[in-house]
A and B are shown apart, each in its own frame.
Chain A
Amino acid sequence: MRDLLAARSQMAMSLAFHIIFAVVGIGMPLLMVVAEWQWRRRGDRVFLELAQRWAKGTAILFAVGAVSGTVLSFELGLLWPGFMTQAGAIIGMPFSLEGFAFFTEAIFLGIYFYGWDRISPRAHLAAGVVVAVSGALSGIFVVIANAWMNAPTGFDLVNGRPVNVDPIAAMLNPAAFPETLHMTLAAYAATSFAVAGIHALRLLREPGNGFHRRALRVALWAGAPAALLLPLSGDLNARHVAQWQSVKLAAMEGQFKTERGAPLRIGGWPDEMAGETRYALGIPRGLSLLAFHDPSAEVRGLEAFPRENWPPVAPVHLGFQIMVGLGSFMALVAAWALALMARGRDLVGHRWLLRALVAAAPMGFICVEAGWVVTEVGRQPWVIQGVLRTADAVTPMPGLVVPFVTFTLLYCVLGVIVAWLLYQQVLRSPTSAGAAMPASTRYGEVG
């Protein structure tokens, strides 16, 4: 394996692993806080059980997210020292702000997990709110840094070196708003749909279980609106990409030829050699309409760009198709569930809705992974769009396949253990013994 490919694979694998925990770190605190708030408001102890279980799940996932995020911050330099030399002074600002947001999240998570009987109810709920807000903020800051890689602003390039550096202008890059909005909504939708799906599965077997009923409602109220909004924020992103990264848009759509009134392709397999996308279902003028809101707008195809500036077309197109396809399904299910809930219907009677929710459970996370493939692979061969090539940023360290394989194995093992622990600790139906366990036994002591 070539070192550049190994470095890219290690970065991709580290991001793909960490993003799951990062998304959960944004989404779960919201669910946890809503459940605790419901308990305080209604005095319904089932909501307390729910909040504590979700907190426990968050504790496990947050710890793994914290350490895998640390690995990423080092990997920026371990794998891409050329990138950090150029970019550090320009986009270090959002990373520094993220540092503080993450600090706040870690501090108040500690207070939340271990503080059930140490602080007042009001302070405890407030700690949960701080966790939810700072978790969302840390995600936003990191995505701003990524957005800058897609739309680099805030410096002038003189003789290949950045001068006149303006970190504020870099943070306000044009990709920042669409990307952060889309990712934050995605975090709420992915987490909530995963939770909703798990409880829907339980309700198919035990329709009368009040624990799962309440869990499903909280998850849907938190996640369904986000799932409905995601196609809109996605549209914002697509139009931004069309304007700023037209080669990425061409790869996303499998658009090889430059044409007016370009069709929207559904499915299909882009063949880079032949220069065409086969087996796709084309909606006439659809792409021009969506990307530029004009059915006869000209869409630049891959042929308009030098071959060495093409991203790998097939994974980008496939990733985009998966994200849009599964995301659309989630939006439909969300609309269905919200329509029923708004009319005060009992969701558990609608067994097909429950089945659809079970099917949708993993989709949010698949969409997140696919979306990051589109963003990151679609930016290749650049690490900073149009400024620095990935190949010029990689470390001179040889044998990079070794750390790649090592971290892959490490993360596989951790993933299996986390899944098993979540099943043991969070997902099983509560038993009467479990419900009677006081909070101090559950959270106050360790091991």
Chain B
Amino acid sequence: MNYIVDFITKNATDKLTTFEKVKMIIRLVRQNRVLIIEDGLSPEEEAELIKQTMNVIDFENFIGLEFFNWNRNSSDSRRFFKRTTLSGDKYTVVAPSAAVQIIENSQELLSIKFSS
């Protein structure tokens, strides 16, 4: 299986409602795309993403997705990125679960292998 990485600019999502943004994300992830979303997801959008994901899981072709948020402007000088709960200046990575294998997950590093 091949995966395509899409870098989605803030411009592309700016005018979308929460529902539309999440719908777009799920449509692309189901096409085996890994998304880097410049205007990251807010907590509300994350909850909507989980809800819509649960509604489309079919247990054969799509078992769900993984997503990760990163704060771009961490004041913590030890880390370039800071994992965050809050909305604001962050970006989000979304990928199909079937493709994701986490190699390392620490404060400093999230390492993911994509394979199927």
B is bound to A? no
Chain A residues within CB distance 8 Å of chain B? none
Chain B residues within CB distance 8 Å of chain A? none
